[in-house]
C-alpha cells in the first residue's frame, strides 16, 4: 500500500466545482481517497495552487514525423542539450526534443497526460515505441483518417456503417485513441501534388468531398462510441481568407453527444485568417469565435503562435510545401500510402513580421473571445505555433491585459489595424486557466470517467502543485510570477508518486498508453470482409496480418472499450 498526503493544498478542480479551497488531498495506490493512515508520506503544499495534472490535448511528441523533425535538425538538437544526471537521461532538442526531453519538460511544468495529435496507422508501431521512451506521462494517439482509401470508397458508396467498421477496426488494430482528420481529402490529392481548396472540392479519383469525409467520420465516431470526438485540422490551413472555409466546416457539425462536443477543431488560430492575400492579411478571430459561442457542440484549441524559432510538422503535406515556398528553408515530406501525408519545415516567427504578429494576436483573441473556457483549450499545436515550454507565457498573456499591452508594443506596428486584440479587456482567472489546461481537455477527450483531469474521490492522483499563492499575487500585474510559477511546478505527482520537484526529475517512470477499442458485431468485422482484405493485401506494401500493432508494443496500458452501435 502506497499512501501520500498533500497537506495545505489550495485546490482548484473545475470538474468538481472547486474553485479555490484550502484542503488536504489523500492518495492511496495512485488514486484520490477519503483519507490515509498515519504512515503516509506527507507533502506540505504550503497553501500553493494545486491542480489536476496538466493535459495536452493536441501535441506532436512521438512518431514518424516528429522523429524526422529531429533527424533533419541537428541545429535544433544542439539548442536543447542537457547532461545525463541521476535518473535523468541526456537530452537534446528545443522545438523537437528527444522523447526524454519532452517528457521531463512537460513533467517540470506539471503535465501528466499527452495526446499525440497525428499517427498514421501504417506507422503506428513507431509512435508506440516512442511512447515507451516517454516515461512520465500517460499517452494516447489520434489516428489519421483524412485520406483513407477504404473510408473514401465507403463514402462514395454511401455506406457509413462500412466506413465506421473500417475506422473501428483500424483504431483497435493500431491501438489508437481518436479519429484525426488532417486537411480531409487534401492529403490524398497531395499524392498527385495537388490540394483541395475547401470542403466542396472533390478528391481526385475518389470523387468524395472533404465535407462528406468530415460528416461521415463524425457519424462513424458516434456509432463507435469513442471516448473522444472527431479531431479536425480543417482544410486550407495558413491561407489568407481561410476563415470562411473554417466557418463553413463548423456549420456542418451536428450536436450528437450529450457528454462532450461532437467536433474538436484543432489549432484554430491557423484557420481564422482574413484577407485575399498576404498584403491585406488580417484577423478573423471575431466571427470564428462568435460561431463557436453559438455552437456548444464544438471545442477548439488555440494553436497559439509565439515568437522565436520552431519546427512546423503536420500530416498536411501540401500546406508544408506551400510554407516551404514561402520560407525557402529545408523541407521534408512523407506521404503514407492509402492513408495520409506529412511535412516538416523549420520556421522563425518574428515580431518584426506583420503576418507573424497578426498570427500571434489571433490565437490570443480566440481564447479571449470564446466565452466558455470549456470550449477553448490552451495549446500551441506543439511545436507548430511554438514549443510547449511557452505555455506559461501564454497563460500570463491571457491573465494580464497589462502584459498583452506590453508585448503588443513590441510587435509590428501595423498589427493594431488588422486585429482587435488591443481592445479586449478580458483577463482570465485561475479557474479558467485550470479549465483550459486540464479539466477541459479531460472532458473533451472523454477521459474524466477514467479519473483524468480532476481530483475527486477515485480520480487518478495526477497532481501539480505550483509555487503560486493565489490570494497573494495579482496575475494581472505580477505576470512575471505567473510565468515563473507555471514553468516550474513545486511538485508534479503522477499516479501518487512524486516525479518532479522544483525543476528536478525524481524518477524514471512508466507511462500508461490509453487506447480505444470499439467492439463491433462479428458480422460487421471488416477484417473478415473479403473485399477489404483483398484491397488491403493488393495495394498496401505490407501484408494485412503484419499491420496491427502487437500487444508487446504496449507496456502498461489502459484499454477503453466501447460497445459500438454497429
Q: How far is the CB of 24 from another protein (least distance, A)?
A: 34
Task: Kindly state whether residue 551 participates in binding another protein, applying the rule CB under 8 A.
Answer: no
- Identify the three-state secondary structure at position 312: strand
Q: Which of 334, 390, 438, 443 forms a contact with another protein (CB under 8 A)?
A: 334
Q: Pick the closer one to another protein by CB: 294 or 546.
A: 546
Which part of the chain contacts another protein (CB under 8 A), choosing from 2-10, 66-74, 251-259, 304-312?
A: 66-74
Which burial class, exposed, middle or buried, applies to 502 when counting CB atoms under 10 A from its CB (0-12, 13-18, 19+)?
Answer: exposed
Site string for another protein, 123-162 (x = CB under 8 A): x-xx--xx--x-----------------------------
Quick one: which of 41, 335, 427, 484 contacts another protein (CB under 8 A)? 335
Of the candidates 332, 448, 487, 512, which one interacts with another protein according to CB under 8 A?
332
Half-sphere exposure (Cβ direction) of 99: Cα atoms closer than 13 Å? 21
Minimal distance, residue 87 CB to another protein, in Å: 6
Is residue 550 a contact residue for another protein (CB under 8 A)? yes
Q: What sign results for the dihedral spanned by CA atoms 51, 53, 58, 61?
A: positive
Binding mask 381-410 for another protein (x = CB under 8 A): ------------------------------
CA nearest 291: which of 256, 265, 270?
265
Region binding another protein by CB under 8 A among candidate stretches 136-144, 321-329, 430-438, 513-521: 321-329
Nearer of residues 127 and 437 to another protein, judged by Cβ: 127
Exactly one of 121, 135, 191, 387 binds another protein (CB under 8 A); which one? 191
Q: Mind giving me the DSSP string for 141-209?
A: EEEE-TT-HHHHHHHHTT-HHHHHHHHHHHHHHHT--EEEEESTTHHHHHTTT----STTSPPTTT---
String marking each residue 16-55 x if it binds another protein according to CB under 8 A: ----------------------------------------
**Residues 6 or more apart from 438 whose CB is under 8 A from it?**
51, 52, 53, 54, 55, 453
Binder of another protein out of 27, 122, 203, 436 (CB under 8 A): 122
| Rounded Cα distance, 78 and 91, in Å | 10
Determine contact, residues 27/351, Cβ cutoff 8 Å: no
Measured torsion, CA atoms of residues 176, 179, 181, 187, in degrees rounded to the nearest 10: 40
Q: Enumerate residues 6+ apart whose C-beta is below 8 A from 188.
A: 146, 147, 149, 152, 203, 204, 206
Cell of 180: 484525426
Residue 438 per-residue DSSP state? I
Site residues for another protein, 504-543, by CB under 8 A, read 538-543
Residues engaged in binding another protein (CB under 8 A): 62, 64, 67-68, 70-74, 77, 80-87, 89-93, 97-101, 122-123, 125-126, 129-130, 133, 190-193, 205, 321, 324-325, 330-338, 344-345, 538-543, 545-546, 550
Amino acid at each position: 500500500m502506497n499512501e501520500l498526503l498533500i497537506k495545505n493544498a489550495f485546490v482548484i478542480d473545475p470538474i468538481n466545482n472547486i474553485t479555490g479551497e484550502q484542503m488536504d488531498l489523500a492518495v492511496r495506490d495512485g488514486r484520490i481517497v477519503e483519507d490515509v493512515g498515519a504512515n503516509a508520506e506527507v507533502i506540505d503544499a504550503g497553501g500553493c495552487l494545486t491542480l489536476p495534472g496538466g493535459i495536452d490535448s493536441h501535441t506532436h511528441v512521438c512518431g514518424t514525423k516528429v522523429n524526422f523533425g529531429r533527424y533533419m535538425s541537428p541545429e535544433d538538437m544542439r539548442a536543447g542539450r542537457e547532461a545525463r544526471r541521476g535518473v535523468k537521461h541526456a537530452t537534446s532538442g528545443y522545438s523537437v526534443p528527444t522523447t526524454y526531453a519532452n517528457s521531463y519538460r512537460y513533467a517540470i511544468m506539471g503535465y501528466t497526460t499527452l495526446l499525440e495529435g497525428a499517427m498514421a496507422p501504417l506507422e503506428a508501431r513507431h509512435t508506440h515505441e516512442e511512447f515507451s521512451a516517454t516515461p512520465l506521462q500517460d499517452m494516447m494517439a489520434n489516428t489519421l483518417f483524412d485520406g483513407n482509401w477504404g473510408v473514401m470508397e465507403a463514402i462514395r458508396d454511401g455506406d457509413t456503417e462500412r466506413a465506421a467498421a473500417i475506422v473501428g477496426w483500424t483504431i483497435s488494430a493500431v491501438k489508437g485513441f481518436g479519429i484525426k482528420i488532417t486537411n480531409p481529402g487534401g492529403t490524398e490529392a497531395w499524392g498527385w501534388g495537388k490540394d483541395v481548396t475547401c470542403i466542396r472540392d472533390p478528391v481526385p479519383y475518389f470523387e468524395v468531398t472533404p465535407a462528406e469525409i468530415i460528416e461521415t467520420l463524425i457519424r462513424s465516431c458516434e456509432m463507435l462510441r469513442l471516448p473522444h470526438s472527431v479531431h479536425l485540422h480543417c482544410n486550407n490551413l495558413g491561407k489568407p481568407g481561410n476563415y470562411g472555409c473554417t466557418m463553413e466546416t463548423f456549420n456542418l457539425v451536428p450536436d450528437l453527444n450529450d457528454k462532450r462536443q461532437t467536433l474538436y477543431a484543432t489549432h484554430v488560430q491557423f484557420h481564422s485568417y482574413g484577407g485575399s492575400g498576404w498584403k491585406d492579411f488580417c484577423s478573423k478571430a471575431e466571427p470564428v469565435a462568435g460561431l463557436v459561442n453559438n455552437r456548444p457542440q464544438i471545442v477548439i484549441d488555440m494553436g497559439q503562435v509565439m515568437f522565436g524559432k520552431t519546427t512546423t510538422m503536420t500530416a498536411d503535406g501540401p500546406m508544408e510545401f506551400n510554407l516551404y515556398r514561402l520560407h525557402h528553408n529545408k523541407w521534408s515530406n512523407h506521404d503514407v500510402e492509402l492513408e495520409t501525408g506529412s511535412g516538416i519545415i523549420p520556421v522563425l516567427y518574428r515580431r518584426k513580421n506583420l503576418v507573424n504578429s497578426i498570427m500571434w494576436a489571433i490565437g490570443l483573441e480566440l481564447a479571449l473571445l470564446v466565452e466558455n473556457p470549456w470550449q477553448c483549450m490552451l495549446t500551441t499545436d506543439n511545436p507548430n505555433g511554438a514549443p510547449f515550454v511557452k505555455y506559461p507565457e501564454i497563460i500570463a498573456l491571457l491573465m494580464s491585459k497589462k502584459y498583452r499591452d506590453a508585448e503588443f508594443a513590441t510587435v509590428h506596428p501595423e498589427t493594431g489595424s488588422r486585429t482587435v486584440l488591443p481592445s479586449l479587456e478580458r483577463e482570465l482567472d485561475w479557474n479558467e486557466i485550470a479549465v483550459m489546461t486540464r479539466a477541459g481537455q479531460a472532458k473533451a477527450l472523454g477521459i474524466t470517467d477514467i479519473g483524468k483531469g480532476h481530483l475527486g474521490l477515485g480520480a487518478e492522483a495526477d497532481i501539480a502543485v505550483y509555487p503560486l499563492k493565489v490570494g497573494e499575487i495579482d496575475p494581472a500585474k505580477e505576470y512575471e510570477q505567473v510565468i515563473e510559477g507555471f514553468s516550474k511546478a513545486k511538485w508534479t505527482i503522477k499516479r501518487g508518486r512524486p516525479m518532479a520537484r522544483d525543476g528536478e526529475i525524481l524518477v524514471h517512470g512508466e507511462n500508461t498508453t490509453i487506447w480505444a477499442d470499439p467492439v463491433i458485431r462479428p458480422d460487421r468485422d471488416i477484417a473478415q470482409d473479403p473485399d477489404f482484405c483483398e484491397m488491403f493485401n493488393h495495394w498496401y506494401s505490407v501484408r494485412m496480418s503484419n499491420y496491427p500493432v502487437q500487444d508487446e508494443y504496449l507496456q502498461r496500458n489502459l484499454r477503453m472499450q466501447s460497445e459500438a452501435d454497429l
